[in-house]
Amino acid sequence: MSTDWIDWTPVEPTTTFTPRALAELLDGGQAFGWWPQPDGSWLGRWTDRVAALRLGDHGMLQWCAPAPLAAALQTELPGYLGLSDVRQTAALDALPWRSDPHLATCLTVYPGLRILRQPFGETLLAFLCSATKQIVQIKQMLALLATRHGTPLPHPLPPACNPLGYKCTHRLPTWAQLAAVPESELRDCLLGFRARYIAGTAAYLAAHPGWLEATAALPYTEAKARLLTLPGVGEKIADCVALFGLGHLEAFPVDTWMLKAMARRYGLADWRPAQVAQFGRTHFGAGAGLAQQFLFAYERAAGQPRG
């Protein structure tokens, strides 16, 4: 029943991280399907993929995976991690860090941090769960949804060196699967008032075949406008889904942490979210979403002091 995993392999293109930056990339509020392991590695799953990551000598990022998935992951993993996206490299350099000392600090504290490129549908589900919830709780909701309503993963078992958590046994449910789940059973997954939104979105998507694919083909402004028509998707969640699920680097999600960051670091106290979003797009430009992720990471760490 156990599946062999391949040996640890460098991620190409070779990239170095600090442990803090890798933790922020995998578990800092973009993705909710990565779990730290006792040996310091990370175990994650998205769609039917399962992989482990760790830092080798000199902070070089390495991966391994179940052997049957290895060929696919060798191709897909750099894209998922945002490491093979030349747009991000260019966008990062084009950010105004030369004239913005706070941004420069944030970039220095999280070397290697990027925007993940996650599956659109899963990203939409994750951020519909995210409203006024802490990251640890969003992970718990999604783990319950996967275990109770998702399909078992084809290769769920761990390598001996990476004891697999119970959380990695099933895929997240698809939107088609969610459409068949009674709202009461969604509430049982700790979704609270978000259950209504998820049920409503699932029903809408079931009634509009191809809606996700058509939205994914649109540029940022049009894609966001369509996302805003879904129940439970407002400005912030639409921008998160556009950024993390569609790769629109100009999206600038404004949450409570971004309000704090812009108030404390940029003097924008008492600005409304829409105004902060306008400032962010203007000040940071085409890579505003990338800048936002560094600011978000820095501010959250400042509010919760630890190594």
Retrieve residue 194's tokens: 């978000």
Binder of DNA out of 14, 75, 132, 221 (CB under 7 A):
132
Binder of DNA out of 168, 292, 294, 298 (CB under 7 A):
292
Select from 154-162, 174-182, 204-212, 223-231 the region that touches DNA (CB under 7 A).
223-231
Residue 60 vs 206, nearer CB to DNA: 206
Residue 21 vs 69, nearer CB to DNA: 21
165 binds DNA (CB under 7 A): no
Listed in sequence order, the residues at least 6 apart from 190 whose beta carbon sits closer than 8 Å to its beta carbon are 137, 140, 141, 144
For 182, other C-beta atoms within 10 Å of its C-beta total 10
193 binds DNA (CB under 7 A): yes
Helix (H) or strand (E) holding 181: none
* Phi, psi values for residue 109, rounded to 5°: -75, -25
Separation between Cα atoms, residue 14 and residue 27, nearest integer Å: 21
Binder of DNA out of 102, 196, 226, 283 (CB under 7 A):
196
- Residues 15-54, one symbol each (x = binds DNA by CB under 7 A, - = not), give -------------xxx------------------------
Binder of DNA out of 211, 231, 263, 264 (CB under 7 A):
231
Q: Position of tokens 């409203």?
A: 131
Strand-pairing partners, residue 61, are 55
123 binds DNA (CB under 7 A): no
For 270, other C-beta atoms within 10 Å of its C-beta total 7
Task: Report which of 235, 230, 244, 220 is spatially closest to residue 123, judged by C-alpha positions.
Answer: 244
Separation between Cα atoms, residue 170 and residue 152, nearest integer Å: 4
Separation between Cα atoms, residue 132 and residue 229, nearest integer Å: 20
138 binds DNA (CB under 7 A): yes
Residue 133 vs 283, nearer CB to DNA: 133
Question: Sheet containing 61-64: which strands, arranged edge to edge?
Answer: 9-10, 61-64, 49-55, 42-46, 34-36
Residue 70 vs 138, nearer CB to DNA: 138
CA dihedral 114, 79, 86, 123 (to 10 degrees): -60
131 binds DNA (CB under 7 A): yes
Residue 60 vs 200, nearer CB to DNA: 200
Binder of DNA out of 87, 187, 226, 281 (CB under 7 A):
187
Residue 14 vs 275, nearer CB to DNA: 275
Residue 159's identity, in one-letter code, is: P
Residue 97 vs 197, nearer CB to DNA: 197
Report the site for DNA in 239-278 (rule: CB under 7 A). Answer: 240, 253-258, 260, 272, 274
Under the rule (CB under 7 A), what is the footprint of DNA? 28-30, 130-138, 187, 190, 192-193, 195-197, 228, 230-238, 240, 253-258, 260, 272, 274, 292-293, 296, 300, 303
